[in-house]
Amino acid sequence: MAGLFDPVRMGDLDLANRVVMAPMTRSRADEEDRPTDIVVDYYRQRAGAGLIVTEGVQPSAEGKGYARTPGLYNDGQVAAWRRVTDAVHAAGGRIVAQLMHVGRIAHAANRQADVPVVAPSAVAAKAKMWTEAGELPTEIPRALGTEEIQRVIADYADAARRAIEAGFDGIELHCTSGYLPAQFMASGTNQRTDGYGGDAAGRTRFVVETLQAISKTIGAGRTGFRICPGNPFNDLFDEDPAETHAVLLRGLRDLGLAYCHVIAMPTPQKVDQRALVAAEWNGSTILNNDLDRDRAAQLLAEGACDAVSFARAFIANPDLVERFRRDAALAPFNPKALYGIGAEGYSDYPPLAD
């Protein structure tokens, strides 16, 4: 019977405990999409997690959506991330980079000049994007040509290579929340008539091929992915998300990937994400969403997952694992400082007093 503080091996990742820090956009990168000194502090403070999954990191300039998010597509970014990974490893932690290409969830105000917004199809999202000039509607994307898709997949693989160069223990591919992989998988955003559209096998092909390319580059045991079947965030709709993700998971079974990170949450189509993953996935599983210490411990004891992840709890509690050990009260986070610029509400939350 597994517990919160038991070690676990997922693929090639050895975790000292089963409490994972979930990815969270915090918007503290500099103007060159590089993590700064306070980002180093932020992740180092939370190295007590069995595994840290970083905020979404764009694999290319084309993949950027939100203001002040970090990248992994040039040497300067690799060097900046190396400071983060060195700090986490020195504190005894493990850390993977979440690769996030936003696809159509973008606006030119947050991006380099003349970098196009691309997606599977030219379908605009009914969503707004925060920019320094306020909230603006997302743009109508340009549909990727069939020949371009391999270039996008290569961008992901190159970012994974750079992640290992930067000292990361692996990567997680972001496949939910309405971003590019989810846009390919969903029938509402994928109107393609080539081999990357149509039925569920065609719509999931991009994700399968991307994870194959990343695995070939850095090893399957260092490669995880995150899903949330039925998640409507960022104006995403699929006619049958349970079947789409069942086809996806079947297509990934034989790759030997490190883990599936699944968000279990209520959805308009009432998808049972836990049951779906249990039925279709044969590898390690990280379970996420609205867990507290006792519920997480129960899920591990029941064998429902191999690890559990927390997001908001890690924001205000850099020593979350130690608080769980002591059954100590958790500090609340300041939602107004989630996407600020400086250390306030980011790296200035204090640990427990000894």
CA distance linking residue 186 with residue 4, whole number of Å? 35
Residue bearing tokens 């503080």: 5
Q: Taking CA 180 as the corner, what is the angle to CA 71 and CA 195, rounded to the nearest 5 degrees? A: 130
> Which position among 42, 66, 156, 179 bears the catalytic label?
179
180 is written with which tokens?
A: 């590019």
Q: CA separation (Å) from 182 to 23, 190, 233, 347?
A: 17, 9, 10, 31
Amino acid, res. 105: I
Residue bearing tokens 């961008």: 155
Residue 185 contacts residue 204 (beta carbons within 8 Å)? yes
18 is written with which tokens?
A: 């089963």
CA distance linking residue 285 with residue 258, whole number of Å? 9
Residue 179 known to be catalytic? yes
CA distance linking residue 87 with residue 90, whole number of Å? 5
Q: CA separation (Å) from 171 to 52, 159, 221, 313?
A: 11, 9, 10, 22
Name the residues annotated as catalytic. Answer: 179
